[in-house]
Amino acid sequence: MSLAPVTDPSGLLERAPRLAELLPDAALSEALARGDAWAVHAVLSRRLEHEPPGPTRELLAALVEDRGAFVIAARSPSASSVLGTGVRWKGSPPRGAAPNAPFVAERTVTVLGVPVWPLDGYLVRADGKAPLQVIGQVPPSRGRSRRRAVALAGMALGLCGLAGLGAVWLEARGMRAVTVVNGLSRPVDVRIGGEHWVVAPGTQEQGRVKLGDDLLRAVTTWPGHEPVIEDVWLPTDGERILYNVKGAAMLEAVPDDGATYSGPRSRSLPESAMVLQPGERLSVQAANWEAAARAFAEAGRWESAGRVASSVAQVEPGNALAREMAARALLILDSQAPVNLPDALRWRNTRGHAAMLMHTWQEDPGAQALALSLLRLIGDGDAARARYTEHAQQHPDSPLAALYLQRASPPSLGTAEAVAAYQELAKRFPDSPDVVRAWLDARWRFELGDSRPWSDSERQDFVTETARLLKALEEKHPPDTLEALELDVRILLRAQLRDAATTRVRRYAEDARRRTWDFLVLAGRTAAAAGPEHTSYVMLDWVPPALARQPERMALLDLLTGQRTPKAAEVAAVTSPVDRAVLRLTRDVLQDPKRALKDAVGESEAVLSRLDPEVAALLALELTREGDARAKNLFNASLPVMLAREPLRNHVLSASRATGPELIRLAPGLRAAATLVHARRDSQEGYPVFVQRLDGLARVDALGGFAVRAAGPWMRRAFDACMDTKVERPTPPGMLLRGAVVEEMARQEDDREGRRPNCEARIVTPTRLPLPRAAATTPAGNANGADP
């Protein structure tokens, strides 16, 4: 041990007298001799790391912690921050310290007030609210390295977390919530981005898709098929995207519950692709296209109704309902255009729909027949014939192309020339069921419409030959559409082959998918026309369960097929106002035509559009005969009546009994309705007079439609009106009648039965129909509601 005195030029032994207790120590003595206070602190720190527990270690720890004793001179550093971010002082005087007592404080880098990185330590003095007074710099604290390591690790972890959060945020910003709504009547396969859904009819699917470099694209196909039915770009300027396949469903955006922003309560969403705004939610007003189209039509939004129905007709093969609903809506829309517009502009929607049918469904005769009817109605028959001529030249071996051309070309149906033309076409394509059935249709219409006198044997031979040709066709090609079945049934009933007619209906119904509403009406009318002894089926056995649970629909079915007539109490018990009005109007056409005419003119679109075409035609034509302009709404009630409007009106208002080619082309029920109304005339006495024979109605419509069934009640109405009308006998000029003569003339005018011979001559004799019996009243207590 050296006894030489320790040199202490910096006076550390005076500031920290307990240092002497650690001497002699070579390293400590050398550091003291250099006068380096921080070197002395470093020596003490190193010795503390290896010192075993005991009094010496406690002394070393106390000296190391007293960093103020090792202060050295230094410039006052800067410390500034903004909103807690920058360099700030960390430290405060010990509790109980005297005022202005020095203490150790550290400069620290902070972020939003949180210390993240320790810097240098200083001995400072606080003087009230004045800035800290720096005395000198002190050595680093013993845990500064560890705190810096922790800070580095924390910053690294923070950066990683921020990067992760940023990635998640960016990922979230690139995601969109998507709702796919399918209003079509078939399932669809929808692909958006990398997601894929198979959406059932009338339902919706939800999911999230990721935005890529390009915009979102929705591609829709039928499941298991490659052809695309819709390919649209979706908007990405919102968080919730809606995709309404072909725009078929009826959607609205309504405010969320509790939303406080000002604006309309709801907004329509007519497009295929759209975005829900914040504070809105999706409301499905009609999940399927038919309900959507009807809702638009009942609201008078014909453009929207036509858009929905035509979009479905463009993609669904064989959807005749969509085609007809679109055609009707677009015809009404175009008819509302100013009449002074050129036809090229006025009928552009109808023309566009017909062009779509012509080009999209070239293998569908029904679609082509509708397109041709639309073009003829708007005066574009020549353009249609030119298009079919071009198509036939491009496909010379196609029987359908030749058939389309023949339909669009003269001669008109109902003539012998038309029969010969279709016969030549059938010889050219003998294996085409469409061509051969078109030839049989031409023969059938010719026999019904030819005005020349036929002998009974000639007519019977022609009808029998048509039926024989039909049987030969059906051996190879039984009817596969309802239109073909109806033609076959009418031909067979015309030939009195009732067993064969009902057999065709029974075989057609073996496929349960064919048992539609129109088929049930046809089956019921066929059974009524053939009679129970010739009918091999019970039509009610084919009624689907869903329809059987609707009493108002079953009552209407019975009424349309002639099974029974619902009573007034049964009609009044129907809960739906629309169904009740449809049932009442249909019944009144047969029982009370005057009341039916009065009620029909004030009914809404919802009621008129659900009327049977023959019912609407009878009411519209009777109003036309009376000169009532309100017949327009009834003419617009259904597409068949709209397409037949001009031929029907022309025949009713014509004085001639001859049926033109346009009338022969119509459905038999509509033709029979025109014949019935045409037979009525207004006499000078104020009651209608029949001037046309009506015994041919049953021949025109062998199925016994509404016009055939209404002939008796309408004649009864005319006969009763005639019997109730007094005929005033004018007094000869210059004569003054008095006394018994006047009384006798008054008695004759009041004698209702005395008017019978004149009324029978004016009402009954021209029709060659028996006088119908007076309407019977229902006896009280007829609980089962059966007809008397």
Q: How confident is the model at residue 262 (pLDDT cuts 50, 70, 90)?
A: very low
pLDDT exceeds 80 at position 378? yes
Neighbours of 397 (CB within 10 A): 8
Task: Let me know how many helices (H) and strands (E) the chain has, helices first.
Answer: 35, 18
Nearest Cα neighbor of 606 from 248, 247, 287, 300 is 300
The predicted-structure confidence for 534-582, as pLDDT tens digits, reads as follows 999 999 999 999 999 999 999 999 999 999 999 999 999 999 999 999 9
Question: What whole-number distance in Å separates Cα of residue 475 and Cα of residue 466?
Answer: 15
Confidence (pLDDT) at 516: 95
Q: What is the average pLDDT across 228-245? A: 90
Q: What is the mean pLDDT of residues 86-93?
A: 75
CA distance 634 to 642: 9
Mean pLDDT of 270-278: 89
Tell me the pTM.
0.76
Whole-number pLDDT of residue 31: 72
Of 359, 374, 357, 372, nearest to 319 by C-alpha is 357
Please write the tens of the pLDDT for every residue from 469-485: 999 999 999 999 999 99
Q: Is the peptide bond before 545 cis (omega within 30 degrees of 0)?
A: no
Mean pLDDT of 124-150: 71
DSSP per-residue letters across 299-328? TT-HHHHHHHHHHHHHHSTT-HHHHHHHHH
Is 521 in contact with 547 (CB distance < 8 Å)? no
Q: What's the chain's average pLDDT?
A: 85
At 599-624, the pLDDT tens digits run: 999 899 999 999 999 999 999 999 99
Strands 175-182 and 240-244 come out as parallel
- Which whole-number Å values give the CA distances from 542 to 197, 271, 502, 703, in the listed order? 36, 40, 14, 19
Q: Cβ distance 337 to 383 under 8 Å?
A: no
pLDDT higher than 80, residue 107: no
- Answer whether residue 182 shows pLDDT above 90: yes
DSSP state at residue 118: E
Q: What is the pLDDT of residues 404-417, one digit of tens each?
A: 999 999 998 888 99
Q: Is the pLDDT of residue 632 over 50?
A: yes
Distance CA 683, CA 693 (A): 17
Residue type, 238: G
Query: What is the mean pLDDT of the segment spanning 579-598?
Result: 93
pLDDT, position 347: 94
Q: Please, what's the b/e burial string for 596-621 (b: 16 or more CB within 10 A of its CB; e: otherwise)?
A: bbebbbebebbbbbbbbbbbbbbbbb
Q: What is the 3-state composition of the chain as percent helix, strand, coil, each rounded to the nearest 5? A: 55, 15, 35
Please state which of the ranges 276-280, 396-400, 589-593, 781-785 shows the lowest mean pLDDT: 781-785
Q: What span, in angstroms and rounded, lies between the C-alpha atoms of 500 and 530?
A: 10
CB atoms within 10 A of CB 79: 18
Q: Is 496 left (phi over 0), alpha (psi -120 to 50) or beta?
A: left
Lowest mean pLDDT among 92-106, 116-130, 733-747: 733-747
Per-residue pLDDT tens over the stretch 689-715: 888 888 888 888 999 999 999 998 888
With bands split at pLDDT 50, 70 and 90, how would you rate the model's confidence at 131? confident
- Residue closest to 667 by CA, chosen among 714, 709, 614: 614
Instruction: Work out the percent of the chain whose per-residue pLDDT is above 70.
Output: 87
Asked if residue 777 has pLDDT above 50, the reply is no
Confidence of residue 145 (pLDDT cuts 50, 70, 90): low
**Distance between terminal CA atoms of the chain?**
144
**Which pLDDT belongs to residue 169?**
54
For residue 646, what are its two tokens?
A: 């001009």
> Which are the contacts of 511, defined by CB distance < 8 A and separation ≥ 6?
none
Residue range 292-344, pLDDT digits in tens? 999 999 999 999 999 999 999 999 999 999 999 999 999 999 999 988 888 88
pLDDT value at 146 more than 80: no
Backbone angles phi, psi at 244, to 5 degrees: -100, 105
Can you state the angle between helices 668-678 and 645-653, rounded to 10 degrees? 30
